[in-house]
């Protein structure tokens, strides 16, 4: 059974959004379910700080078990921080997807977009668990 913390928001494409101390900045990564489906993560290609994305733009790619998948920005915004620890230890995504395996922090353009994301119950239903 995958972990889907109740305080996070989710996309159908398996990214999560976690609030930070700064209300206008969210932390983005992939869910526990997604890392389990992908398997052993060997590389995460992330954007540079300052990059801007529209909602559901691809913000990077992730490689696991010889497959490269796109990562989608759950919200429109500007990257304020990138998890550089993933460069040397991409398996953090497997070990701690909601913690040390986070990917980007995003200054969001429109907080209203948060309402369009899935809650944990909806996401759990989406992944069939």
Partner 1 sequence: MRWRQIETTGLSGAENMALDQTLLDEAERTGQAFWRLYRFEPSCISFGRNEPARERYDPDAIAQLGCDVVRRPTGGRAVWHEHEVTYAVAAPVQAFGSLRDSYRAIHERLAAALQALGADAKLAPDRPPPPAAARHQSHACFAAPAGGEVLVQGRKVIGSAQVRQGKALLQHGSILLAGSQDVIRAVSRQPSAASGEMTLTAALGRRITFEEVAEAIAATWDDTLPSTALDRPRPPLTDRPPSIARFTDPAWTWRR
Query: Which residues lie near partner 1 (CB under 8 A)?
Result: 37-40, 42-43, 45, 61, 63-70, 91
**Least distance (Å) between residue 68 CB and partner 1:** 4
39 vs 65: CA distance, rounded Å? 6
CA distances from 110 to 14, 54, 82, 95 (A): 21, 11, 20, 31
Cβ closest to partner 1, residue 76 vs residue 91 = 91
- Cβ proximity to partner 1, 27 vs 30, nearer residue: 30
Q: Structure tokens of 66? A: 């010889």
Cβ 107 to partner 1 shortest distance, Å: 25
């Amino acid at each position: 059974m995958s972990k889907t913390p109740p305080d996070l928001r989710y996309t159908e494409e398996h990214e999560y959004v976690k609030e930070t101390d700064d209300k206008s900045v969210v932390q983005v990564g992939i869910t526990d379910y997604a890392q389990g489906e992908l398997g052993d993560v060997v590389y995460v290609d992330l954007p540079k700080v300052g990059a801007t994305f529209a909602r559901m733009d691809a913000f990077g790619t992730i490689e696991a078990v010889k497959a490269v998948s796109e990562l989608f920005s759950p919200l429109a915004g500007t990257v304020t921080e990138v998890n550089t620890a993933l460069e040397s230890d991409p398996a953090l995504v497997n070990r701690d997807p909601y913690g040390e395996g986070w990917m980007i922090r995003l200054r969001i353009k429109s907080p209203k977009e948060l309402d369009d994301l899935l809650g944990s119950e909806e996401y759990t239903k989406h992944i069939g668990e």
